[in-house]
Amino acid sequence: MLYHNLSFQTRQTTTVLDNNSSIAFLQYTSGSTASPKGVMISHRNILENLTAIHDYFEHTSESHGVSWLPMYHDMGLIGTVLQPLYGGFQVTIMSPLMFLQRPLRWLEAISRYKATSSGAPNFAYDFCVRKIKPEQITHLDLSSWDVAFNGAEPINYQTLQKFASLLKPCGFRSEVFYPCYGMAEATLMVSGGKKANLVVNKKVDAAALEKNEIIILDDDDQQGKILVSCGQTIPNHKVKIVNPETLIECSDRKIGEIWVSGASIAQGYWHQAQLSEQTFGIDIEDNEKEGFLRTGDLGFLHEGELFITGRLKDLIIINGSNYYPQDIEWIIEHSHPQIRAGCTAAFSVDIEEKENLVVMAEIERAYWKNGVKSNGDGENDSHSNQLELISTIKRSISGNYDIQVHAVKLLKPGTIPKTSSGQIQRQACKKIFVSENLTVNFNH
């Protein structure tokens, strides 16, 4: 059985808890940049966040959700189980493996059950675009889908465009895209837009972006990079953009670390007092003493809209310029059809006191067997294919950025480090590269 249908009664808005600050459960972080940590989520945190999601998504008792998201992480647990329970509507749940094996199943479930609310991280939308062919979707009817939320990682404008174009014949409307932002430490949702509003995009100067500055360009400017807004801060919360080194709030149109305060922010990490003290309840220098959560994410605010640019720990700094790994990985994955979607890592390593770019990329299974075989086989054709693929990767990067690639490692399918929710663990990749402990096909 691929799907499980759950139905809940309408929510009771008069629920009262004797101690709403008491811990309801531990919600573990994804572990994308560090080991997973148990976040202490209170009853108040849950109710506050569920209310915001319900109101922003405009869920009703007639809503119907579909999800393949893992229920042991915030988006799956809060959005898939607790939100339908809170809103009193049906949800159809499928295994994450069912989606990963055949992404079309996600869309088929939405079509079959006339779902109104469903979503996933950006990589899932891109996975659909890369794996689903137009002739496979002629039977789908996606006209019921009115909230296609997208969160958990930076949102790619091109992915949204391609996904909407692919599924337009099935009744999918680009207006239903719902970019949002959240994290386990904030229970789930931090920002989102009004359901009826169109997605807000801004074209910015790419060179200025490398210097942590935002210069807004005209929409018809061909040299800019399009960034997607994750909406406005939810009620009873504040978002500030702060310099992570000086702890001073950034001036307008400057990229900094995203700090959040409000009723959804958790109490800290379970049995990790020192780390909790470094992350929760932090005050901004020369500003209000309110106590903020340091998210570790980078971004900026523009006209009330929150834009996410990347993760602080994953930021690649070479020759004084900032590069976001997800942008480099996007370029690599679209440079050759045999590079696996969502299975590339870009990071920098310190070699002789200088940062250098390293890339790891998984190869499609058929190509690995036929063209890029395990090292040591001595086949000239295989070696030639390796060189060609590596050259393609390097050209794709140099064609977009003024940086050289120190090393490219081609990996067997299924070997790149990921979190249990499918996110690339770039820091783990870096540790493996430095220790040279990964079985690789080719290093150049």
Distance of CA 47 to the CA centre of its chain: 24
CB 425 within 8 A of CB 389: no
Q: What angle do CA 167, 171, 174 make, to 5 degrees?
A: 65
C-alpha distances out from residue 119 to 30, 150, 348, Å: 18, 6, 32
The segment(s) of the chain belonging to CATH 2.30.38.10 are 201-310
- Could you give the CA distance from residue 301 to residue 284 in angstroms, rounded to a whole number? 17
Rounded to 10 deg, the angle between the 122-131 and 157-167 helix axes is: 50
| pLDDT the model gives residue 381 | 59
The candidate with the shortest Cα–Cα distance to 173, out of 152, 192, 134, 199, is 199
| pLDDT the model gives residue 387 | 85
Name the least confident of 36-40, 91-95, 377-381: 377-381
Q: What is the DSSP letter of 77?
A: I
Distance of CA 71 to the CA centre of its chain: 16
- CA-only gyration radius of the chain, Å: 22
Give the N- to C-terminal CA distance of the chain in Å, as an integer: 46
The segment(s) of the chain belonging to CATH 3.30.300.30 are 316-443
| pLDDT the model gives residue 443 | 46
| pLDDT the model gives residue 6 | 67
Q: Which residues contact 232 (CB under 8 A, 6 or more apart)?
A: 191, 192, 193, 304, 305, 306
**Residue 441 — pLDDT band, cuts 50, 70, 90?**
very low
| pLDDT the model gives residue 141 | 98
CB-based burial, 403-419: b 16+ in 10 Å, e otherwise: bebbbbbbbbeeebbbb
| pLDDT the model gives residue 110 | 98
C-alpha distances out from residue 7 to 62, 81, 89, 106, Å: 11, 10, 6, 19
Q: Who wins on pLDDT, 372 or 198?
A: 198
| pLDDT the model gives residue 442 | 44
Q: Which CATH architecture has domain 201-310?
A: Roll (2.30)
pLDDT of 330-341, one tens digit each? 999 989 988 988
**Averaged pLDDT for residues 236-259:** 94
Phi, psi of 175 (to 5 degrees): -65, -20
CB 299 within 8 A of CB 258: yes
Indicate whether 1 pLDDT > 70.
no
CATH 3.30.300.30 fits 316-443, yes or no: yes
Q: Which two tokens stand for residue 112?
A: 């079959």
Q: Which helix (H) or strand (E) holds 47?
A: helix 43-57
**Averaged pLDDT for residues 88-95:** 96
Considering only the top CATH level, what class is 3-176?
A: alpha beta
**Averaged pLDDT for residues 295-321:** 93
Q: What does the chain come to in residues? A: 444
The three-class DSSP label of residue 349 is strand
Indicate whether 136 pLDDT > 90.
yes
Q: What angle do CA 128, 198, 155 make, to 5 degrees?
A: 40
Phi, psi of 311 (to 5 degrees): -105, 135
The candidate with the shortest Cα–Cα distance to 128, out of 94, 93, 154, 165, is 165
The segment(s) of the chain belonging to CATH 3.40.50.12780 are 3-176
Torsion of CA 372, 377, 378, 383, to 10 degrees: 10
Cα within 13 Å of Cα(349), Cβ side: 21
Q: Percent of the chain scored above 90 by pLDDT? A: 65
The three-class DSSP label of residue 237 is strand
Rounded to 10 deg, the angle between the 104-113 and 122-131 helix axes is: 100
E strand map for 193-303: 201-205, 224-228, 232-233, 237-242, 256-262, 293-302
| pLDDT the model gives residue 372 | 58
- Could you give the CA distance from residue 159 to residue 312 in angstroms, rounded to a whole number? 23
pLDDT of 15-52, one tens digit each? 444 457 899 999 988 766 667 889 999 999 999 999 99
